[in-house]
Amino acid sequence: MFVPIDLLKPILQELMRSGRSGLSPRPWLGLNAAEIGGRVVVTVVTPGGPAEQAGLGLGDVILEVEGQPAAGVAESYRCLWATGPAGVSVRLRILRGERTRELSVQSADRNERYRSRPARPGGVASAPQGR
């Protein structure tokens, strides 16, 4: 991974101290998407994650994020991250089959989802579930 030095300098001390940037966590929806045929298509939905809870499914096409066109995966993430910190509600307009739907997804903090679980008796740590 490459990180532009101008982005690293302001957060370097906190990264070294805590392993995190110190900035508010970005909203996470619990889905992966790919650009297929010029569209942003949901390819993975994390079981029990915010997207699944809101009703998103595999193959859904994301048309808009907070009223902004989903012009690609990268642009969709920029729109998502512009909504505020983790925990905000994010409006999506999707295409499923031939019908469009409006959904509200309650975002979460991805780091909280995948934080290590305490060790089980016998010293074996439990693995996080989902993606």
> Is residue 104, in this structure, part of any structural domain at all?
yes
Residue 110: alpha-carbon gap to chain centroid: 7
Position 7 in a domain: no
First-to-last C-alpha distance (Å) of the chain: 20
Q: Tens of pLDDT along 9-44?
A: 776 776 677 666 665 788 999 999 999 999 999 999
Q: Which DSSP state fits 58?
A: T
pLDDT reading at 116 higher than 60: no
Domain of 70, CATH number, reads 2.30.42.10
pLDDT at 131 exceeding the cut of 50: no
Q: Residues with Cβ < 8 Å from 131, sequence gap 6 or more?
A: 30, 32, 44, 46, 49
pLDDT digits (tens, 9 = 90+) for 52-88: 999 999 999 999 999 999 999 999 999 999 999 999 9
Q: Residue 122 — pLDDT band, cuts 50, 70, 90? A: low
Residue of 108, 107, 114 lying closest to 129 (CA atoms): 114
- Residue 87 is part of which domain span? 24-110
